[in-house]
A and B are shown apart, each in its own frame.
Chain A
Amino acid sequence: MNSFWFLNMGFVAVLLFIGIYCLLTMKNLVKLFIGIEVIAKGITLALVATGFAKNNVLLAQSLAITFIVVEVSVVATALAIIINIYRHTGSLDIGKLTKLKG
């Protein structure tokens, strides 16, 4: 693989690190979801960069479009759940979601 692909993969790893750091340290539900979005950006970049390195951009694009459609569906559902959680608990703090705690 060429160095250009490695450059892109290096930045993909950085994006994954940022997203995972957010998931591990933040308490706000919307912030957590922003972390998931950052991870999703890294995955999309990895797909298209690999397609470009393999000289197969068209297939990579169609796969990335499928990924984005799934991502939008997940975002819509998760944000609806977040609004419902806010209406139930009056807060976006993940620490207050203790109703299912055993």
Chain B
Amino acid sequence: MHLALLIGLVVFSVLAILLRDLLKAAISLAVASIFLAIIFFTFRAPYIGVFEISVVAGLITVLFVSTIALTKSEGDVKENKLPTFIFPFFFIVFIIIDILVMKSMLGKLTALTGSAEQRTFGEVFWNQRTFDLVAQIGVIFAGVFSVLALFRNQGKKDE
């Protein structure tokens, strides 16, 4: 089950980069996000699963589709066909190397020390990682102001 979900994630990620139609690529990325969210649910991590579905599969896909809609008319770029054709070769070579490396490392790495958590997610998120929340608010404001600044300059030029 878990392996099938991981394979689905990889397949849709590959489709997202290889499909020529940008809209289909963005939708493939959203489907890959849904696979990732299901994987998170199997890890017993429901909060990040919900976040992945709502924010990454939802909001980011909407942003991508809006951008594609705003730039579609003449924005078609002639991609070189060679990278698409040689991708399977490199992909298979990489997977073989990946399997060999992971097999060689299996059992050599010492287990990370960790004990079962007794607290709730709320305690960890609001109490232990409080400083992260401050940083998150700063990042959100930075994003909002940068988008506003970029579109404001454009509006002035149009006038």
Q: Chain A: residues with CB nearer than 8 A to chain B? A: 1-4, 6-11, 13-15, 17-19, 21-22, 25-28, 30-31, 33-35, 37-38, 41, 44-45, 48-66, 68-77, 79-84, 86-87, 90-93
Contact = CB atoms under 8 A, between A and B. Distances in A.
A85 B14 CA distance: 26
Give the interface residue-count category, chain B.
35 or more
Contacts of A62: 121, 124-125, 128-129, 132
B139 A69 contact: yes
Contacts of A21: 17, 83, 87, 90-91
A interface SS class: helix
Given A18-B13, A87-B154, A91-B75, 19 more contacts: A11-B9, A14-B95, A21-B90, A30-B64, A31-B25, A34-B26, A37-B29, A41-B36, A48-B40, A55-B117, A56-B117, A58-B117, A59-B128, A62-B129, A75-B63, A75-B64, A76-B146, A82-B67, A91-B77
Contacts of B95: 14
Contacts of B13: 15, 18-19, 38, 41
Interface in B106-137: 106, 109-117, 119-121, 124-125, 128-129, 132, 135-136
A1 B112 contact: yes
Contact of B60 (A6, A7, A14, A75): A75
Contacts of A13: 94, 98, 102
B150 A81 contact: yes
Interface of B: 2-3, 6, 9-10, 13-14, 16-17, 22, 25-26, 29, 32-33, 36, 39-40, 43-45, 47-48, 51-52, 55-56, 59-60, 63-64, 66-68, 70-71, 74-75, 77-80, 83, 87, 90-91, 94-95, 98-99, 102, 105-106, 109-117, 119-121, 124-125, 128-129, 132, 135-136, 139-140, 142-144, 146-147, 150-151, 153-154
A66 B14 contact: no
Lowest 8 A-B CB distances belong to which pairs?
A: A73-B143, A25-B83, A54-B114, A22-B17, A80-B150, A92-B75, A28-B77, A58-B124
B117 to A, nearest CB: 5
A4 B3 CA distance: 10
A34 B60 CA distance: 10
